[in-house]
Amino acid sequence: MSISEFTLENVDVDGAIQEAAEATQGDTRADFMRKAGLAAGGTLMAGSLFAAMPSLAGAKGKAVPKSDIAILNYALTLEYLEAAFYEEAVASGALSGAALDFATQVSKDETAHVKGLKAALGKKAVASPTFDFQGTTKDQAKFLATSFVLENTGVKAYLGQAGKIKTPGILLTAASIVTVEARHAGAVALLTGDKISPSGPYDKGSSMKAILKAVKSTGFITG
């Protein structure tokens, strides 16, 4: 895979993330998000999240920490990528049989994740980057191999942030997504002949910095 720049500007189209990051200097958790290249500004009332996602009921009526909003936007960016990847693959006409069935179902799931996260974040949601999947959606073998990498990356991304989420309802929502991502990873492994549990009996999360570096290395995000 080729190398392409994955910068703050790629996901922070309106500048809101950078503005908030500069305003949160000194806060350890927010500063971590800033250094990773993603942070969210302002406060988001959990009531609006509850309206969009019933699983956030436990946070109803309380302000959601900036760090949790940052994590949701981080997740949303990854979901944008996956949703676009599967939508393009299904539309390409290059897939057939079990691969097409898999892509069709996963496309629906990833699109639902995007819609749910955007609805929860409201005006705080980052805009979608633009993508170039470099032909991986137009060749069945390349599609499956890429899907295996993306799904396992998604699992590691969510797991890596689990211990940093402060709002119980958001943690529950993230858990409800990561279990689906893990099912996707296992399903595509059966199609590619890879290990269903590549990390062994216990999954290992990855830091935001590591995930962003991995996404950058794909060259899929172009702007």
pTM: 0.74
Q: What is the pLDDT of residue 110?
A: 96
For residue 1, being part of any structural domain is answered with no
Q: Does residue 16 fall inside a structural domain?
A: yes
Question: Over the stretch 63-87, which tens digit does the pLDDT of each residue have?
Answer: 788 899 999 999 999 999 999 999 9
Question: Among residues 169, 166, 160, which one has the least CA distance to residue 208?
Answer: 160
> Tokens in use for 181?
């991502």
In a domain, 99, yes or no: yes
Confidence tier at 143 by pLDDT (50, 70, 90): very high
Instruction: Give CA–CA dist 86/36, Å, rounded.
Output: 26
Helix-strand-coil percent breakdown of the chain, rounded to 5? 65, 5, 30
Residue 15 lies in a domain: yes
Q: What is the pLDDT of residues 202-216, one digit of tens each?
A: 988 999 999 988 988
Domain of residue 137, CATH code: 1.20.1260.10
Please write the tens of the pLDDT for every residue from 94-139. Answer: 999 999 999 999 999 999 999 989 888 888 899 999 999 999 999 9
Is the pLDDT at 33 greater than 80? The verdict is no
Closest C-alpha among 154, 160, 141, 134 to residue 3: 134
Q: How much is the average pLDDT of 2-19?
A: 44
Provide the number of structural domains found in the chain: 1
For residue 221, give the 3-state DSSP assignment.
strand
> Taking a C-beta distance cutoff of 8 angstroms, is the pair 65, 41 a contact?
no
Q: Is residue 87 part of a domain?
A: yes
Please state which of the ranges 61-70, 140-149, 190-199 shows the lowest mean pLDDT: 61-70
pLDDT confidence bin for 168, thresholds 50/70/90: confident
Residue-level pLDDT at 62: 66
Does residue 2 form part of some domain? no
Domain containing 77 equals 8-218
Q: Does 62 fall in a domain?
A: yes
The answer to whether position 3 is within a domain reads no
For residue 61, the model assigns a pLDDT of 55
